[in-house]
Amino acid sequence: MHNRVHIGDSDLQTPPLGIGAWQWGDTMMWGFGRGYDRSDAEAAFTASVNAGLTLIDTAESYGRGASERLVGEFIRRTDKPVIVATKFAPLPTRIGRRMVLRALNDSLNRLGLSRVDLYQVHWPFPVIPIEMLMDILADAVELGKIRYIGVSNYSEEQMRRAHAALAGRGLPLVSNQVEYSLLHRTPEVNGVWVACQELNISLIAYSPLAKGLLTGKYKPDSPPPGLRRLMPQYSRAALERMQPVIQTLAQIGAAHGGKTPAQVALNWLARQPGVLPIPGAKNAAQAEANAGAIGWDMTIDEADLLSEITLGWRK
Ligand X SMILES: NC(=O)c1ccc[n+]([C@@H]2O[C@H](COP(=O)([O-])OP(=O)(O)OC[C@H]3O[C@@H](n4cnc5c(N)ncnc54)[C@H](OP(=O)(O)O)[C@@H]3O)[C@@H](O)[C@H]2O)c1
Residue least distant from ligand X (Cβ): 20
- Min dist CB 231 to ligand X, Å, is 11
Residue 52: phi and psi, rounded to 5, are: 95, 0
Contacts with ligand X, residue ranges (CB under 6 A): 20-23, 30, 57, 122, 152-153, 177, 206-212, 215, 217, 224, 262, 278-282, 286, 289-290
Choice between 57 and 302, CB closer to ligand X: 57
Choice between 48 and 248, CB closer to ligand X: 48
- Min dist CB 282 to ligand X, Å, is 5
Choice between 225 and 244, CB closer to ligand X: 225
3-class SS at 72?
helix
Q: b/e map of 124-162 (b: 16 or more CB within 10 Å)?
A: bbeebebeebbbbbbebbeeebbbbbbbbbbebebbbbb
Rg (CA), the chain: 19
Choice between 146 and 281, CB closer to ligand X: 281
Tell me the CA distances in angstroms from 134 to 101, 152, 166, 302, one per residue in order. 12, 13, 6, 41
Q: Beta strand 13-14 with 5-6: parallel, antiparallel or unpaired?
A: antiparallel
**Catalytic one among 62, 119, 180, 206?**
62
- Min dist CB 8 to ligand X, Å, is 16
How many Å separate Cα 295 from the centre of its chain? Answer: 19
- Min dist CB 23 to ligand X, Å, is 5
Closest CA to 151 of 164, 134, 170, 129: 134
For residues 16 and 272, give the distance between their C-alpha atoms in angstroms, rounded to a whole number: 10
How many Å separate Cα 261 from the centre of its chain? Answer: 19
Which H or E run includes 178?
strand 173-179
- Min dist CB 99 to ligand X, Å, is 20
**∠ Cα 284 150 78 (to 5°):** 35
Measure the CA dihedral 131/136/140/146, to 10°: -50
3-class SS at 158?
helix
User: Catalytic site residue 62?
Assistant: yes
- Residues with a known catalytic role: 62
